[in-house]
Every structure is written in structure tokens, then in C-alpha cells.
């Protein structure tokens, strides 16, 4: 088994994790969670998204959250944006790194941002051009890279073409996302191996959901393929409002624990990470899907 010595975990809980919460989480509590996560050793985090509050009301206080957190100079705080309007709002808030999402599936993309895949790519090309002129980091996520809730299995060649397109547009990082958690380890290994063979200047990262209980298995397959950057969400919270049946993300604490047990460094303090879950618990009605925090007496 060929494994790396070090893996980077990108925390997406403050954005992807809580965006589906029915009850609005108070702004000061979001700030408290982000500040606590910033002290765990996590170096990159999706903190907010600038989407229309009509569609994702949980993110209506994105500006207040970004202005309220204690920004650590060692942490990259990213804001997700869907379009040019989101870009303008994000820039006004002073962010220097943006997360963009395009669905490999047209049906999903239409549900997600009311545009076809090609319309999204065209619109975001302008955003990326502006961002790069202002030295802003661009994270380009290809959603439904494996399966779509409306169209089924996604053509791998289409996804690889989108990787090349993202590279040409100037993305700093390209994320292949298993949005509905339907991918299997063989499929994951083959797609990431093919993506890495393109030898892009952009780094390649992985984003797994745990709908079918395969998130950590898919992490292992991606590790074998050569991937060393993974998204995860505290407590395993998450899911996409526009992808029916999508469950939570890979749980950050479970992923960190697994990697540490295998001798792979993440730079994250597991004890501090578990303490963050206690901050989160009072503000979710959903059962946290992570396992580690349920283990009595875990040290």
C-alpha cells in the first residue's frame, strides 16, 4: 500500500455542513465555531457562502460572520460564490480566496444555480479572470463528478474534460466532489488516477459524502491514487439542498483519527476538534453522523 506521510484536511463544516440546518444558527455561534476550528491546526476552511438567502437562508449572515471572526494569519478562510453577484459581495467582505461550483450534470447544475453547465462555466470564467487580476485564490469544485441524483452515473470523460477546462481558466485547485455519496472505491481510484495523469498545475482534491457509508473507503482509494487533500465536515454534517437524498460529508474527526492511526500526519489536534463538536451539538436537530465523538472515554 502506497500512502503519503502527510494529508491536508479542508474543513467545510461552517459552510457545507450547516447550510441545510432548518433552524437559523445565531451569527455569534457560527463565529465561535469558526474561531474554535481555527485553533485545531486546520489551515483551510470554507467559512461562508454568498448565495441568495431565499435559497440558503442559513448563509444570510455571511458578511457578518466574516467580519466577526478572529482571522488567524495561518488559516485560509474561503467563501463559496455561485455567480458574479456573489463575487461582488464576497470581495466587499474582503475575502482573498473563493470557492466556485459547477455540476458535471446539467440537471444538477440547473437545480443548483438555475443555469446549464456550460452557462455556469462561461459566467464563472469572467469571475475567475477578475479574481486572478486581484490575486485571489480560486477553488473550483466539480459537483456530481461521480453520480447525479437526476441523471445517474456521470461520464468520467466529461469530468476529465472539465478538469482541463478549469485548469485553462486559471483555477488554483480543482475538487472532484461525490455530491450524493454514491461513488465506490474502484470508481474513485480510476477517476482520480486519470485526473492526476493530466498533470495539471492546479492541485487536485477530493470531496466525499457518506450517504452510502463509503466516504472513508473512498478516501482510501483516493489516497492510493495519489490524492493528499480532502474536504471534511465537523460531526459529519452536510448535504446539498439541491441534491435529493444527499447525506452528510465525511466527518472531520473520523477522517483525522483514521489517518493518524495509519501514521499519516494532518497537523490537527484531535482533542480540540472533538471539543468543537460540543459547540455544534446544541444548534442542530440532526444526528451527527461521525463516529468518534460517540466513543465513550475516547482519549
Provide the annotated active-site residues.
240
Supply 250's cell numbers.
465525511
Q: Say how far apart CA 180 and CA 146 lie, in whole Å.
A: 9
Mention every residue, 6+ apart, whose C-beta is less than 8 A from residue 254.
216, 236, 290, 291, 292
Other Cβ atoms within 10 Å of 241 Cβ, number:
14
Strand, coil or helix: what is 167? helix
Q: How far apart are CA 163 and CA 200, in angstroms?
A: 8
185-197 vs 215-225: helix crossing angle, rounded to 10: 30
CA distances (Å), origin 27, targets 12, 118, 158 = 17, 35, 39
In angstroms, the CA 90 to CA 99 distance is 11
Name the phi and psi angles at 79, rounded to 5: -120, 130
Give 250's strand partners: none
| Cα distances (angstroms) measured from residue 265 to each of 41, 45, 183, 199, 234 | 11, 18, 26, 25, 18
Amino acid at each position: 500500500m502506497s500512502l503519503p506521510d502527510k494529508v491536508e484536511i479542508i474543513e467545510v463544516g461552517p459552510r457545507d455542513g450547516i447550510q441545510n440546518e432548518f433552524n437559523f444558527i445565531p451569527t455569534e455561534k457560527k463565529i465561535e465555531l469558526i474561531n474554535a476550528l481555527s485553533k485545531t491546526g486546520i489551515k483551510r476552511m470554507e467559512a461562508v457562502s454568498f448565495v441568495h438567502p431565499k435559497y440558503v437562508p442559513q448563509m444570510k449572515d455571511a458578511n457578518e460572520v466574516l467580519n466577526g471572526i478572529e482571522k488567524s494569519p495561518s488559516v485560509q478562510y474561503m467563501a463559496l460564490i455561485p455567480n458574479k453577484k456573489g463575487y461582488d459581495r464576497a470581495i466587499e467582505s474582503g475575502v482573498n480566496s473563493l470557492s466556485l461550483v459547477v455540476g458535471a450534470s446539467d440537471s444538477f447544475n440547473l437545480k443548483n444555480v438555475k443555469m446549464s453547465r456550460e452557462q455556469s462555466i462561461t459566467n464563472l470564467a469572467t469571475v475567475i479572470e477578475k479574481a486572478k487580476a486581484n490575486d485571489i485564490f480560486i477553488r473550483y469544485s466539480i459537483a456530481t463528478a461521480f453520480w447525479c441524483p437526476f441523471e445517474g452515473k456521470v461520464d468520467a470523460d466529461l469530468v476529465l474534460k472539465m478538469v482541463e477546462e478549469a485548469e485553462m481558466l486559471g483555477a488554483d485547485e480543482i475538487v472532484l466532489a461525490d455530491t450524493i455519496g454514491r461513488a465506490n472505491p474502484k470508481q474513485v481510484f480510476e477517476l482520480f488516477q486519470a485526473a492526476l495523469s493530466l498533470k495539471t498545475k492546479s492541485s487536485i482534491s477530493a470531496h466525499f459524502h457518506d450517504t452510502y457509508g463509503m466516504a472513508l473507503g473512498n478516501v482510501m482509494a483516493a489516497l492510493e491514487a495519489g490524492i493528499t487533500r480532502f474536504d471534511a465536515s465537523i460531526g459529519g454534517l452536510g448535504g446539498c439542498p439541491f441534491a435529493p437524498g444527499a447525506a452528510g460529508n465525511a466527518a472531520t474527526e473520523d477522517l483525522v483519527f483514521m489517518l493518524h492511526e495509519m501514521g499519516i500526519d494532518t497537523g490537527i489536534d484531535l482533542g480540540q476538534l472533538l471539543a468543537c463538536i460540543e459547540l455544534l451539538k446544541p444548534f442542530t436537530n440532526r444526528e451527527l453522523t461521525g463516529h468518534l465523538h460517540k466513543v465513550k472515554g475516547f482519549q
